[in-house]
Structure 1
Amino acid sequence: MSQTVDRALRILPLLAEGPANLEQVAARLGVHKSTALRLLRTLHEHGMVYRQQDQRYRLGTRLFALAQQAAENLDVREIAHPHLAALNERCGHTVHLAVYEDGEVLYIDKVESRYPVRMYSRIGKPVAITVAAVAKLLLADLPEPERRAVAERLDYPAYTARSTPNAAAYLKELATVREQGWATDFGGHEESINCIGAPVRGTDGRTVAACSVSAPNVVVGTGELLELLPLLRRTADAISAEYSGTTPPPLQKANS
């Protein structure tokens, strides 16, 4: 990278901390004020920085517009699919990716199990929002007032004896999911199907999608399924890193 480009790029995280004047920018870069002024003028011409009336510089609106445009053009399904396929290749079970849209949790990708007993879930189909692991992850990350409002307006069908019975129980479970960072559905929707899920996060740390591994209990028990949790979480972290352009965080223990 050229020295000029390097210096210009170093100005942006500096101004992200707050407005700074010419002297402060020059001192942080370790350059003469004339050099700093040249860089700031160029960034200003491209809308990357803005000079305030007090002669201090801040990040420009063009930078935020570019960031928003880039975020809107990201396709989490396209990014996630190779990771989901690799996860399926390693574990053999059904893998899903889901998002929360317009009050529903929808599957947007699925990689089928290699075993003959398969799930009937379909891409584009809403999930059972009160019991599905992916739904718990997506709703657990909502702001508290919205989370409570959603929980209180939902119906709570008794799919099985293990289904979530009411809003109070759901909110309690969402709090646990929010704290531990992963979720389960052990027979809550179908007695014979168990599932574990992990969140996919965006640049702001918020959950943008959730991925899961599901399997019939005739194929794998809950204990064996939970042993796949570290692998699932590594997959979710890898998707998050590629989606947000960051380094994946260190994996926590499954029981943390």
Structure 2
Amino acid sequence: MATAEENRQVDPESRDGLQVLSRAASALDEIATAPGQLRLVDIGAQLGLAKSTARRLLVGLVDVGFAAVDSAGRYRLGDRLLGLSSADGAHLAAAVRPVIEAVADATGETVDVSVLRGDQMWFVDQIESTHRLRAVSAIGGRFPLLGTANGKAALAALDDAELDAVLARQSSDMARRLRDQISPVRAGGLAFDRDEHTAGISAAGIAGRLPGGHVVAVSVPAPTDRFTLREEVIVEALRAAAAAAVWESAAR
């Protein structure tokens, strides 16, 4: 006789519920990747959903406050979800704060903390440089994985199965480019962005896991001329950050 647990595993309603949750999570990932840019038809196409199915899904997300839609029909993350994310971000930022304070003291440059979320890096904390000419990113902003020090470092901190899952969501060309950028990071322990994401700005970064599994990157961006002159100091400070006790294991 089948047990209650076995019955639950084959229950069609349970499977349907899991499918809805999976679709909702995928829709939120798409919205977070391009906030305020995607319409219902765009999200439906990217998820491979019929227009009616996508509409029901997005109406539900808007109703519970996880998504919001403007008068032009473009979606962004909702205030309720952002409130939950902000609380999570504040917790992660607090855990890493002593680490970035040490890096800022050692380098005199801006130090950023970002978290891997879906296919982007989400900025949760920053200590600004006191230099008049400095690199600054908005807290709550999102950066791509490709061509950024924090994105490369975070991907390099994933295990092979996790990395394959991220790359599977990319185009074949993007997956190849990301994999090519990760190899030297795993070999050397640090990731670099030399005028790749923003002309005139270079950066270095490390990443590791916090207790709970979050992949968090610490990066130091600076005007390229000054970064080049002080690269050795920046690298030394980041290597010390990678060895800090806050991580579950040392950053690669």
The answer to whether structure 1 residue 208 and structure 2 residue 224 are counterparts is: no
The whole-number CA distance in structure 2 between the counterparts of 1:89 and 1:108 is: 19
The answer to whether structure 1 residue 82 and structure 2 residue 98 are counterparts is: yes
Q: Which residue of 1 aligns with 2:132?
A: 116
2:152 is matched by which residue type in structure 1? Answer: K
Q: Which residue of 1 aligns with 2:113?
A: 97
Q: Which residue of 1 aligns with 2:246?
A: 242
For residue 181 of structure 1, the aligned residue among 185, 189, 205 is 189
Is the CA contact 1:141–1:207 (under 8 Å) kept in the aligned structure 2?
no
- Deviations for 1:98-142, whole angstroms, at most 9, x for unmatched residues? 111233211111110111113241111111321111111111233
Provide the TM-score with structure 1 as the length reference.
0.55
- Deviations for 1:147-178, whole angstroms, at most 9, x for unmatched residues? 2443354479xxxxxxxx84323202212212
CA shift in 2, pair 1:243/1:181, >3 Å: closer
Equivalent runs, 1:1-256 vs 2, <5 Å:
75-151=91-167, 153-154=169-170, 166-202=174-210, 208-218=215-225, 220-222=226-228, 224-238=230-244, 241-244=245-248
Is the CA contact 2:115–2:214 (under 8 Å) kept in the aligned structure 1?
no
1:212 is matched by which residue type in structure 2? Answer: S
The whole-number CA distance in structure 2 between the counterparts of 1:108 and 1:194 is: 20
1:199 is matched by which residue type in structure 2? Answer: A
2:143 is paired with a residue of what secondary structure?
Answer: coil
What is the deviation of 1:197?
A: 0.5
What is the deviation of 1:179?
A: 2.7
CA shift in 2, pair 1:185/1:75, >3 Å: same
Is the CA contact 1:76–1:243 (under 8 Å) kept in the aligned structure 2?
no
What is the deviation of 1:216?
A: 0.4
Unaligned stretches of 5+ residues in structure 1: 1-71, 157-164
Is the CA contact 2:100–2:241 (under 8 Å) kept in the aligned structure 1?
yes
Q: Which residue of 2 aligns with 1:52?
A: none
The whole-number CA distance in structure 2 between the counterparts of 1:176 and 1:184 is: 10
1:86 is paired with a residue of what secondary structure?
Answer: helix
1:237 is matched by which residue type in structure 2? Answer: A
Higher alpha-carbon deviation: 143-152 or 208-217: 143-152
2:144 is paired with a residue of what secondary structure?
Answer: coil
CA RMSD of aligned residues (A): 3.1
1:175 is paired with a residue of what secondary structure?
Answer: helix
The whole-number CA distance in structure 2 between the counterparts of 1:197 and 1:155 is: 25
- Deviations for 1:71-106, whole angstroms, at most 9, x for unmatched residues? x9x933112113212321221111001111233211
Provide the TM-score with structure 2 as the length reference.
0.56
* Greater Rg by CA: 1
The whole-number CA distance in structure 2 between the counterparts of 1:228 and 1:181 is: 13
What is the deviation of 1:198?
A: 1.2
The whole-number CA distance in structure 1 between the counterparts of 2:170 and 2:136 is: 23
Is the CA contact 1:133–1:212 (under 8 Å) kept in the aligned structure 2?
yes
Sequence identity (%): 27
Structure number having the greater helix percentage = 2
CA shift in 2, pair 1:146/1:236, >3 Å: closer
Aligned residues: 164
CA shift in 2, pair 1:181/1:243, >3 Å: closer
Unaligned stretches of 5+ residues in structure 2: 1-87
The whole-number CA distance in structure 2 between the counterparts of 1:85 and 1:222 is: 22
What is the deviation of 1:231?
A: 1.5
The whole-number CA distance in structure 2 between the counterparts of 1:221 and 1:137 is: 18
Is the CA contact 1:109–1:123 (under 8 Å) kept in the aligned structure 2?
yes
